[in-house]
Amino acid sequence: MSVKVFTGKIYMSFKPLKVVRCLVVAFGRVIYAGSDNVCEYICKNTLCENINIDGIALPGFVDSHIHMDTIGIKLNSLDMKNLKSIEDVKNILKVYRNTIGKWIIGLGWDQERFLERRPLTRYDIDEVSNEIPVMLMRICGHLGVVNSKAMEILKLDKIFKDSPNIDIEKGIVKEDILEYIWRNIGIDIDLYGYRKLLNDAQRYIIKHGVTSIGFISVPISVLPALISMDLENKLIVKTHLYMDSISSDIFKSIGLKRGFGDDFLRFMGIKIFIDGSLGARTALLSKPYSDEPNNLGIERISSNILSSILYNSKYNGIDVAIHAIGDKALDIALDSI
């Protein structure tokens, strides 16, 4: 039925406070909010579905920065956020069985909560699993650890042997190398797998009252699943896309501009990282970390390159979201803008 009438205590706004008793929705859009009498008049000669709200109704929340694919992976992967020690990690790996792809993926560990007070290493994982590739990402999303099997499959020790963002001995990876691993893990996830991840994620999101999101750092490998779901009217959360910066040239070359799309799937721009995170010690600082006196963090992009990207993006009608955590990274962002 295309016209629905909702009755109950309905909050339209809070500043100013506006509460109504009736809401009329036609073809997915609110056409009236107000008194019961007007709603009755609107529906007098229209086939309406009447829905009595048991409780109250609120406007949906908007989350402007969310990683929909990561939420889907997290819901189908090893949840590590409550683990208190490296021994806990080993114990849970012994009994865990992965449900997507060919990798074991874990998210959310934090060495600050571990009894051992140190990051995981590949040797910790190898003790439990050296047959299946494993990638365990820290809670910040800017640092992870892989086992020897993952290192072998992706040839990380050969491709990135001179990179400062990998500790080959310990299997610890950061920033661009972590992104490289994510992209290659994605090769093992087909269209159906991505659709399942995204559907699980959007149902989790909507359950928490969020109805509109900014999907940040979207890998291009996720696009076919999003587009197919949108074409089949399977998206239930309004999704605004900020693609990862690797994809930016593709969208510029085809003339894609901010706002392209429909109500439930819309292209907005790209996401650029200047640095990493404090927990991973990759946030870019003007002074060294107190516990790592030779470390100032990681500068992932220079001010000149960022300025060029910002200029070209503005010229091409594409928004840019900038990640800057450390004080020096913030200086780079502000100077470039």
Say what the pLDDT of residue 262 is. Answer: 96
- Enter the tokens of residue 92: 């849970």
Look at residue 220 in the predicted model and tell me its pLDDT. 86
Q: Show the domains of the chain with their CATH numbers.
A: 3-59 (2.30.40.10), 68-186 (3.10.310.70), 191-336 (3.20.20.140)
CB atoms within 10 A of CB 259: 12
Q: What is the mean pLDDT of the chain?
A: 91
CA distance 189 to 197: 10
pLDDT at residue 44 in the model: 79
- Hey, which residues does 23 pair with through a beta bridge? 6, 33
Strand partners, 101: none
Distance CA 299, CA 134 (A): 27
Q: What residue has token string 């969310």?
A: 66
How far is the first Cα of the chain from the last one, in angstroms, to the nearest whole number? 49
> Which pLDDT score is estimated for 295?
95
Q: What would the DSSP string read from start to end of 95-138?
A: H----SSSSEEEEEE-GGGSTT-S---HHHHHTT-SSS-EEEEE
Predicted local distance difference test score (pLDDT) of residue 284: 97
- Residue 49 half-sphere exposure toward CB, CA atoms < 13 A: 9
3-state secondary structure of 31: strand
* Torsion, CA 172, CA 175, CA 178, CA 179, rounded to 10: 180
pLDDT score of 97: 65
pLDDT for 186 equals 65
Segments of the chain scoring below 50 in pLDDT: none
